[in-house]
Amino acid sequence: MKTVGRSRPRRLVVVVGTGTEVGKTWISARLLERWRAEGLSVAARKPAQSFAPGENPTDAEVLGNASGEAPTTVCPEHRWYAVAVAPPMAARRLGRDPITRQGLLSELCWPEEPVDVGLVETAGGLRSPQADDGDALDLTSALEPDAVLLIADAGLGTISAVRLAASALSNQELPWIVVLNRYDADDQLHVENRQWLADVDGLDVFTGDPEGLTTLAGALCGPSRTRRR
């Protein structure tokens, strides 16, 4: 699906995670801020978001603050679900209409004038339901992005989590790279995890520290470093 809604961004980036609470929104916001600071036009989209009642700010609010858009432009108001479970499960609990993958895709509208970078952030982990008939992997594949960022925690257990998600992304022939969030260069485990993923698994691995994010922001908007595996 090369075109969704209005003009497709010149470069489309989809952000997925190895699980929930790995920092997808934080990484996304920092990248959007860096691109804007470099003079690039950006747009952020969150097809659906679920959250705990009273949670403030929501993901759409964080992304909108970083991209300069209204939160309800980032995520349509009727796709806000105030229950902290996967969006289609939240819709059921709240007695709302079922969520379909096609419904989410049809609502994903971009500005009239093409933006330099469009970023779509999914909910939860890579195989977390986004709709009754599709998960984050399904949604990502349908969007045919120029790059997929797989966000993972830098600590214990990340090698297994990254490998499992990487296998699913590779099966779909999606162009993806790994970002280790909360990376601390002084933490031996973090350093060893990064080296293992890069040296043993041969993966492109960026870090979520300021230097790593600056490098990542430039790589995503220059000649592609992502590979279809």
Catalytic residue annotation? 46
For Cα atoms 8, 39, 214, give the angle at the middle one, nearest 5 degrees. 95
Nearest Cα to Cα of residue 146 among 117, 113, 121: 117
For Cα atoms 211, 212, 213, give the angle at the middle one, nearest 5 degrees. 95
- How is residue 40 written in tokens? 């690039």
Nearest Cα to Cα of residue 45 among 105, 133, 114: 105
- DSSP states of 126-184: TTSEEETTEEHHHHHHHH--SEEEEEEESSTTHHHHHHHHHHHHHHTT-EEEEEEET--
The amino acid at residue 85 is V
What is the Cβ-side half-sphere exposure of residue 47, based on CA atoms within 13 angstroms?
A: 34
55: helix, coil or strand? coil
